[in-house]
Structure formats: C-alpha cells, structure tokens
Amino acid sequence: MDFKQAIAQSVLDAVIKAFGESSLTAPEYEALLELPPDPAMGDYAMPCFKLAKSLRKPPVAIAEALAAAIDADYLDRAEAVKGYLNFYLDRATYARNIVNAVLDANGRYGSSNIGEGKTIVIDYSSINIAKRFHIGHLSTTMLGNALYRMYKYTGYNCVGVNHLGDWGTQFGKMIAAYKRWGDKETVQNGGVDEMVKLYVRFNNEAKENPALNDEGRAWFKAIEDGDEEALSIFNWFKEVTLKDAERVYDILGVTFDSYAGESFYNDKMQPVIDELAEKGLLIEDQGAKIVDLKDYGMPPAIILRSDGATLYATRDLAAIRYRRDTYNFDKCLYVVAYQQDLHFRQLFKVAELLGWDCAKGCEHVNFGMVSYEGQSLSTREGRVVYLEDLLNTSIEKARAIIDEKSPDLENKDEIARQIGVGAVVFFDLYNNRIKDIDFHWDRALNFDGETAPYVMYTHARCASVLRKAGELTDEPDYSALSDPDAQNVIRLIEQFPELIVEALNRSEPSMITRFSVDLAQAYNKFYYENRIIDAPPAVRAARVNLTKAAKSTIAIALDLIGIAAPERM
C-alpha cells in the first residue's frame, strides 16, 4: 500500500464530501503532501493554503472541514493545525505495510524500473598506465562503483568505463629506459614498481645526458607511427599495469564494461577536429589550434598543440562522440576529482558549441582530496599510500580485532576481508563527495562509531536474532510495533526507496552510507528497548519480522555502496 497515494485519494473524497467538488486531482493532492520534520506532527502533512482560492475559504477553515470529513481505516486520525492537515497513520497498519513491503521484495526492496530504456555511461577509476594505484584513485573508484550499482538497482542500463590514462610522451621515455636498462623478467615480476624505477632513472640520467630525451621522443613517435616493437612493449606495459590494478579491483569487488582509454581514441580524433573546423570553431593561435571560450569566461580549449600533438581534451571530445554513437547514452557521468573542474566545463561547452545534443547529459561528478592521517599526499615528495597496501593493512587490523573479540568465529579470513575493505570504502563514502577526506584508522575501524564495522555488526546482530527466533508459527501482532523505537525503524525503512532516487539525482552515495548508520542506530535502540525472543508469540513474530526487514534493508544499503554484510562477526 502506498500511503501517500491512499491519503491523496482520501483527501479528494473528503473535499468532495465537504465542498461538493474538487478542482485538484488525487495526484495533485499527492504532490502537496509533506513529511513533517517531527513525527509528533503526523506521518504526513498537507498545507491547505493552495486550496483557499478554489474553495473560497481560509486555509484554517479548509483544514478543519477536511479533518472532520476524512475517514479511512488506515488512518488513526487527521488533525487540523493552523491551516495544515496532519495525518496520523494507524500504527499497526503502517508497520504491517512497510515490513511486508520489505519481506515481499525478497532482498530487492527499493529497487525499481524508473530507468528502464535509459543508458548511463559512468567514467570512473580511470587509472594511469605505469603508475601505482594509490589512494588518490580510491574515491573515483568507489563513488563510480556505488553510482553504477544504484543506477542498476533502479533499472538503468549501465556502462562502466575505465578511461585509462594510456597516452603521453612519458611512454616513449619508458620504452627508451626499458631498452637500455630493463629486463623482461624483472618488470614482469616487479610490475608497476619496476616501471616507475625505470622512469625515475631515465629522468635522472637525462639531466646529465639530454640526448636521452631524443631517444624518448623517437620511441614515442614510434608508438604513434604504429611501429611493431614500440607497440608491443607499450601494450605489455599496459598489461602489467592492469594485472596489478586487477588485484585491487578484485579486493574491492569492482568491475568495468570497457577499458577504452585515451589511446583508444588515436584514430577517432580526426573526424572531431574536422567537425570543429567545419563549424568554424577551430582557430589558430600561435601555431596551436584552439576553441575560444572567452565568451563563457574560460580559457581556450586547446585541441592541437603547435607541433600537431593532440591533448587530453582532444581525446575526451572524441570519447564523448564515440560514447554517444556506441551507447546512445542519456547521461554520461565523469567521476573525477575537482582539480579537473575546468577541464570538464570546457569539454562540455565545446560539445555544446558543436551542437551535440548529448552534451546536456554529460555531468562532472567531482569530489575532494584524500589525505592520510593528517598528511597530504604528494607523488612528487614521495608521500604516497598505495591502495593495495591500505586495504591489506585494514584487513590485517580487522583480523586482529576479530581474533580478540570473536576468537571462535568461522571463516575469520573472509570476514576480516569484508570488514577491512568495508571500513575503507565506508569511510570514503561517508561525507558529501566534495569534501576533502582525512583517512584515520581509529575512525574507520571503530566498532562504535559511524563506520562500516558498526553497521555490519548491527546486521550480524539482526542475523543472530533471526537464528535464535527460528520458525515463526504465530500471526504477527503489528500493534506491538506501535512504540516510538519500532516506529522510527519503520519510518526510516519507508523512506529508503525515495532516498535512493534522491541520492542518484545528486550523485551522492553518501546519502546511502548515512542512511545505513541511521537505520543501524534506530534498530539498536529498538533492540535495547524491547524484548524480542522471549516476548509473547504474536508480539515476537512482529518484532522478528521488523528485524528481518531492518536486516534486509541494511544489507541492501551496504550492497549499493559496494560493501558486504556478513551474517556473523
């Protein structure tokens, strides 16, 4: 039962009963309904001010007339307060409806098909070849993953793209370094670390011996010209990098539908450059080709450098066009740090100037920076935290906590992995994405804080209640869920489906993260205030069903943000 819809219909009936006719329809009344800030003011409220004109009565009188005329068995009462009509649902009916909605959904409560027929491209993680996967890429990876899951859950067709940073003159230098000092086995076994060493050595030696740079340039040209040896080394660098990254993606449970990165667009830029020229957008500036964006308060977008080289932006333009033609997307989200705000504003503006309709669907989902235990991270100064190390440390720490708190737990390794990874991901997705994050171990792994371990523990507590309860034989008496603590849990659960949609509209998975904490806290309060297992059978049945509903909703919320919910901890 959809209470908003039902109330709207009851209001319509009451208006006709009290005033003879209604100028508004039921859906229009539904749109007027609000959630009062305080449940003492009712479950829903309708301001009557908008009705004053058509009913030719002051709002206060309208609210009073409607409160008297309204009659519905799912309502406990309707009260008129200062021009508002406040609706109080019958507590037992409300509880039964919400709990059953969760149980009937079989683990998919809050899912929908609002996205049916629509396609969302999500560009996320987008790591760089021959660079280590460090915590600077955590947010893009986990935000993108969460958005991907949330869009899927609401029926959209999703395309997850890892737009690899696999183009640039540095790769010429790396090949030169590899040819001089590298050897196959060392790089194969040492992975990205070995490539980075080669690159650093190259840059150091080039200071003494500038001729090396010519060698680097020559190799880069060779890649561009499709030279067989250059390409095979370059592609092998890619393979090795991706193999390293794949380990991290495995730990995180993140996957992609496409790895088409910058180099994928090598042969797809010319048509875009031609189109820019045809449409009179491309102008010459000191040998370079640019699109002037002065009128929009932005520096020009450089399309071709004076030596004819293409740029990051040129590739991104080609990527928009390719994604449009390949996926016919409704939206294309770029989950990239706010340092690239200008880049994306320029990019979308150029797409719009080209008259590409799809530009409207392009959106930069930006986010803040991550620091670590109070220290900003800087590759240049050698202060980097590798994501794989961070995750493994977290798993070890979780394991130590388990060994201490639940030494008899089965599957300790697996559960330590779920808690350790969950703690990092949750910490990353807890605040509004635009905020900078300072990662702290004692906060991420605190079992009593607003953390993954706390929410996961609450889920495991629900599971334990259900194991102890066993099979239910009695009809639940839902009036046993009339107390404020049970009602708080129910109210939160009721709001979850709309919250998912709202979180998507704002590209803000943190709303789901916070919801999981609110629900866990509400459930724990209910748990401490009420007897469950040893309550009379009909009461027990109702409280156990509420526990089932809370458990399922917590698990869904965690799953949407990419976190597991173990049955035992």
Q: Token pair for residue 15?
A: 């208006």
In angstroms, the CA 534 to CA 172 distance is 72
CB of 418 to ligand ARG, least distance (A): 28
Closest C-alpha among 552, 538, 548, 547 to residue 480: 538
- Which residue is associated with the tokens 């919250």? 499
Q: Token pair for residue 236?
A: 């092998």
CB of 346 to ligand ARG, least distance (A): 12
CB of 332 to ligand ARG, least distance (A): 9
State CA 243 to chain mean position distance.
Answer: 25
CB-nearer residue toward ligand ARG: 313 or 401: 313
> What residues contact residue 215 under an 8 Å CB cut-off, 6+ apart?
176
CB-nearer residue toward ligand ARG: 142 or 416: 142
CB-nearer residue toward ligand ARG: 304 or 319: 319
CB-nearer residue toward ligand ARG: 313 or 535: 313
In angstroms, the CA 29 to CA 22 distance is 10
CB-nearer residue toward ligand ARG: 109 or 133: 133
In angstroms, the CA 466 to CA 555 distance is 15
Q: What is the 3-state secondary structure (H, E, C) of 355-370?
A: CCHHHHHEEEECCCCE
Residue 137 designated active-site: yes
Q: What is the 3-state secondary structure (H, E, C) of 231-261?
A: HHHHHHHHHHHHHHHHHHHHHHCCCCCECCC
CB of 165 to ligand ARG, least distance (A): 3
CB-nearer residue toward ligand ARG: 76 or 123: 123
State CA 558 to chain mean position distance.
Answer: 11
CB-nearer residue toward ligand ARG: 128 or 310: 128
CB of 244 to ligand ARG, least distance (A): 15
CB of 162 to ligand ARG, least distance (A): 9
> Catalytic residue among 53, 137, 197, 238, which?
137
User: What are residue 364's DSSP bridge partners?
Assistant: 334
Burial class (CB in 10 A: 0-12, 13-18, 19+), 479: middle
In angstroms, the CA 7 to CA 387 distance is 51
DSSP states along 294-349: GGGTSPPEEEE-TTS-B-HHHHHHHHHHHHHHHH--SEEEEE--GGGHHHHHHHHH
End-to-end CA distance of the chain: 36
> Catalytic residue among 17, 53, 57, 134, which?
134
User: What are residue 80's DSSP bridge partners?
Assistant: 85
> What residues contact residue 259 under an 8 Å CB cut-off, 6+ apart?
161, 162, 164, 242
In the complex, which residues of this chain contact ligand ARG (CB under 6 A)? 123, 126, 128, 163, 165, 316, 319, 334, 336
CB of 126 to ligand ARG, least distance (A): 4
> Catalytic residue among 4, 131, 268, 459, which?
131
CB of 124 to ligand ARG, least distance (A): 8
Q: Token pair for residue 568?
A: 């035992």
Could you give the C-alpha distances from 524 to 478, 486, 507, 529, in angstroms and in order? 19, 10, 29, 9
CB-nearer residue toward ligand ARG: 85 or 192: 192
Which residues are tagged catalytic? 131, 134, 137
